[in-house]
Amino acid sequence: MTVKGKVALVTGSTSGIGLAIATAMAQAGADVMLNGFGDAAAIETLRGNLARSAGVRVGYSAADMSKAEQVAGLVAETERQFGRLDVLVNNAGVQHTANVEDFPPERWEAILSINLSSSFYAIRAALPGMKRRGFGRIINIASVHGLVASVQKAAYVAAKHGLIGLTKVVALETARTPVTCNAICPGFVLTPLVEKQILDRAQRDGVPQEEAKVRLLSEKMPSAEAVAPEALAQLALYLCSPAADQIRGAALPVDGAWTAQ
């Protein structure tokens, strides 16, 4: 197994895509550092269950990815607890939808810091150790919204386009090293982040949630099928394998042909 014995840090891994990636990394034999918000007791249960079922060490930090010093602290804490950091998955993200002229500046700032700047601070802190130890995989969870735009998502689209730009720069700066950096660009994935958009859509159109889901998905995804978080986790694992050594600076869509249009 490609990540057996390695150490993976997945930001925003108490829910959704991050949790699926952290689970797959642990099941493939990596020690995992979890991060994200949620009920403390539920997170402790999750941490314990994952450690037991996968037979690896699993840590947890509540570091806030909107705070630069806490992001750097999370990388340092992972290296301290596990002795190394081999796989960094920048996944923490939030969403807010509104037209530009109604977009609250504090939501803009929060989305830019959590969805973009946190990746810069984490990569900045993780790179020296990865280069020194001679192995590193940096995987940024971007979005189709890093490649194309949608209305009412100014901050999210700007942050995700920025994240793909950051991915390319890091890939160039590490091109002659054993560290790779890539972005994964999912279409709709049914997680709490999207469930809120389905609820909003149901309210706006005055239709049941199931119908709102079909409308939201089929508007953008020709497949009309959501992406499974586990499928994204398998791609992340593949990017950690030797076969992916020369996949560098790529923005990989997993989007039911959304960006093929």
- Which token pair is 120? 């810069």
Q: Give the CA distances from residue 254 to residues 152, 199, 234, in Å, rounded to whole numbers and listed in that order.
A: 22, 24, 12
Q: In the bound complex, what is the minimum distance in angstroms from residue 254's beta carbon to ligand NAD? A: 9
Q: In the bound complex, what is the minimum distance in angstroms from residue 188's beta carbon to ligand NAD? A: 5
Q: Cα dihedral angle (142, 59, 137, 134), rounded to 10 degrees?
A: 160
Q: In the bound complex, what is the minimum distance in angstroms from residue 99's beta carbon to ligand NAD? A: 20
Helix (H) or strand (E) holding 149: none
Is there a contact between 54 and 128 (Cβ–Cβ < 8 Å)? no
Name the residue nearer to ligand NAD (CB basis): 18 or 136. Answer: 18
- Of 35, 83, 28, 81, nearest in space to 55 by CA: 28
Name the residue nearer to ligand NAD (CB basis): 7 or 141. Answer: 141
> Binding residues for ligand NAD, per CB under 6 A?
12-18, 35-38, 64-66, 91-94, 114-115, 141, 143, 186, 188-189, 191-194
Q: In the bound complex, what is the minimum distance in angstroms from residue 74's beta carbon to ligand NAD? A: 9
Name the residue nearer to ligand NAD (CB basis): 81 or 259. Answer: 259
DSSP state at residue 148:
S
Q: Reply yes or no on whether 156 is catalytic.
A: yes
Name the residue nearer to ligand NAD (CB basis): 2 or 197. Answer: 197
Q: Which amino acid is at 118?
A: S
Give CA–CA dist 131/152, Å, rounded: 40
Q: Give the CA distances from residue 117 to residues 66, 105, 190, 207, 210, in Å, rounded to whole numbers and listed in that order.
A: 8, 16, 25, 37, 35
- Which token pair is 43? 């997170």
Quick one: how far is CA 7 from the chain centroid? 17
- Which token pair is 203? 């309210």
Is there a contact between 20 and 229 (Cβ–Cβ < 8 Å)? yes
Name the residue nearer to ligand NAD (CB basis): 187 or 249. Answer: 187
Q: In the bound complex, what is the minimum distance in angstroms from residue 79's beta carbon to ligand NAD? A: 18
As annotated, the active-site residues are 156
